[in-house]
Chains A and B, each alone.
Chain A
Amino acid sequence: AQSVAQPEDQVNVAEGNPLTVKCTYSVSGNPYLFWYVQYPNRGLQFLLKYITGDNLVKGSYGFEAEFNKSQTSFHLKKPSALVSDSALYFCAVRDRGNNRLAFGKGNQVVVIP
């Protein structure tokens, strides 16, 4: 069964500094990979996805993620963090045989002014 690991509980970063949120995955075959963001008392918002093609994927709000097959990773990055990026970030994986998303436990990102 597919699974995702987000090793850090919380990521603290100063405003204007680069932000990285780590994700590794386990799936049989080639994965579909996703990042979602959840603001307090809100649903999950889609940020970006990797299906195939370029390993560097660009998404919403200036976020990007790099797919690394050899390291089975899909880290989320933003060159310059904003205070408004403070939220809960979820990595998810889906294998190509079914439609269910397996989510990581989520990372709380805190951007310090």
Chain B
Amino acid sequence: DSGVTQTPKHLITATGQRVTLRCSPRSGDLSVYWYQQSLDQGLQFLIQYYNGEERAKGNILERFSAQQFPDLHSELNLSSLELGDSALYFCASSASNDEQFFGPGTRLTVL
């Protein structure tokens, strides 16, 4: 158990809908990262937050947004969902410029 929790575990929704994925980092970790894992794209970095501020941005679509709250949990919002957004979404956290610890992921299925 990495100490990073993600909810929900599974999410099934329809095209055009909006969903919110939630992540709680390990106790004390200020950095939260979001990744997308799909068969065709592999594991892609989406975005990083550090202590509430956006720190780095990767291959994140404009339909996607994220935020980190004062209690350090983070949410990834995916809107106007398309079939191609079906993937595993991972959250990771780290204490410093060191290894990242990954949550169990949220499997999103868009029908």
Contacts and interface: CB of A to CB of B under 8 A. Distances in A.
Is A bound to B?
A: yes
Interface of A: 32, 34, 36, 42-46, 49, 51, 90, 96, 98-106
B7 interface: no
Interface of B: 2, 4, 31, 33, 35, 42-45, 48, 55-56, 58, 90, 92, 94, 97-105
**Which one of A46, A104, A106 has the greatest number of beta carbons of chain B within 10 Å?**
A46
Given A43-B104, A100-B48, 19 more contacts: A32-B97, A34-B99, A42-B104, A43-B2, A43-B102, A44-B90, A44-B102, A45-B102, A46-B99, A46-B102, A49-B98, A96-B97, A99-B31, A99-B56, A100-B45, A100-B56, A101-B100, A103-B42, A106-B43
Given A45-B2, A106-B43, A99 B48 contact: yes
A102 to B, nearest CB: 7
